[in-house]
Structure 1
Amino acid sequence: MKRAAALLLLLSAVAGAAPLPSKAVLSGTCCPGVVWAPDSRSLLFLDGPPVRSSTGIYSVSVEGGAVTRRFSSVAFFSPKLRWAVRPGTGENTTLERLSDGRKFTLPTRGSDVTWTEAETRLAYTRSDTSGNYDRRASRVYVADVFGSPKQVSTLYGGGISGWIGDSTLLLNGKLNASGRDRDLFTLDTRTGTRRTLKSALGFRGVSLSTDGSRVVYTITFDSAARNGLWVQSTTGGAAKRLDSFGSYRWRDASRLLVIPLIPDGSPHLLREYNARTGAWRTLGDLGDQVRQGDWNVSPDGKRISYLSAKDGNVRVVNLPE
């Protein structure tokens, strides 16, 4: 009954939603996976021949216009664009500080690197490469920049979900290979203190708010009491289940943007949940659909970009305050 009421409420919101104007800043289906620059004034994307003269990371203003090459080399860049991360063909990954070109290596075996907000510490996993995923061991390491790595945890069927501050990791996985449930938990990498936030068969879409004070996640294929979209404080306490399901991104420390799943082919609706007050509001509809969940919020929380399902263009929307 509750879900039916929530669906009726959502459908009424769709009917009354005002269109959100958008502007195409890239065209020609060139650029899936566009990300925001740290200053929220431009978008970055990977491109090359035949459209561009050479392969690199390119930039375009949120107002559109000329495309310029930001980086001539291809790498995994840190969120604040302070570091270039270049996995090698063997054990080692090279990390280069862009301000002075200073480098160091870590034995990541090509795995992703997760940075703290200050980008002075990082974490990565080294995982088994064979066997059932649920029973594969993932060893979690942390390191200061230019420092030596230290193992802080071993997980099975899980990994790193992000940093909370400079010393605490958010992790998810099983603590023993034969267990059924995974835990979503925080781990103080300096003291070893561990706090379980939630246990479930599995977690999807785990995402920390911009200040790390809250986490959102989806549980599926579990019991009716566990399934759903949840928001929770990273200090613990009860989780709040949201009467919605779809694609989501944090706008800031407390506001979560959600594009609800409405499988009727209609334009995608953009809604906002305030985790501090518990209130929902409908921001409007895109007059379009987002292709394959390819959308992102600017670091300042004022805009979103998305890949249009209608024409393949990358479009920018100014969000209501």
Structure 2
Amino acid sequence: MKRILLLSALLAGALVSSCNPNNDPELPSVSWASNPKFSQMELAPGADGNVSISAPGGLESLTLGIGLGSYNLVVNPYISVSANKGSGTKSPILDVIDDPESASFLNSLGIAAGTGLRGKTLTTMDLLAIVEKLLTGQELSNNSVFTIDINILDKNANSISKTAKFHFTSAPSFSWDGNKTFDIVDITKDDFNAYKVKVNAPGKIDKLTIKLESGADAELAKKIQNRTTGGILTIDLVNDELVATEFKNWFPTGKSVSGKTDVSLDFSFMKDWRSDLGPSTNVFTIFVEDANAKTSSSQVKFKK
């Protein structure tokens, strides 16, 4: 009953003081140093989800409403209060102070939780760590949005609520029509016409390179080196102006690549150059990094 009354007071108080508009130092507050406006944050390498919680009157209740949409059920194992469990349409609630299961889960992430937090005036938590842990192992849909509602009630019945939003963009990926398993291609066979590999980058391409690995045909290596700045075996499709000229018949380059969400790479030059090559196995590594610093790589192989 006490918890129900506290949560009722919390919800009612949130309507009045959800933003602490007067910045009253005696009222609870939540601050996010790396994201002070609580803008939507991308789930990406380097993101900082650390928030600071202040309750000068002493914490009485602290809950986290976890909005994961169709993934809500993954939170339930960390909740012992039946009323707080989630469903496909209801967001689960982690009771940071009074639910031992929720507290244990948060403690495992290095976040202070449990009844020992009651009465404290300051605490911190990594919201990003919570979201990432809960979603580990899940196949996430591109362009998904997740939320955490932070609800605080102090011992003087003052309350505040803040919502953190996280956005998920799928990492780059590759597809190859006619060769879905990326099997080695025999360039001596005229009946194989599917040389185009598609790069998909929902987060927009920032870097895209193709590297000829060691052990390749010497003549092929020379052809690549003659077409790259510095005579290297890496074809930089974003920044190398020489590549833009020399590979224009096969690869998009420069602005035709940077910032795009998908491009097609045509490796048919391997067939065009096959008469100059000796018996060999040639491996190219495609590397892509998007604007969120998410990366992916894959190899394409050709033999003669």
Interval of TM-score (by shorter of Structure 1 and Structure 2): under 0.3
Identify the structure with the greater helix proportion. 2
Q: TM-score, normalising length from structure 2?
A: 0.19
Q: Which has the higher contact order (CA 8 A, sep 6+)?
A: 2
Structure whose residues are more often strand by fraction: 1
- In the superposition, the TM-score normalised over structure 1's length comes to 0.18
Find the structure with the greater CA-based Rg.
Answer: 2
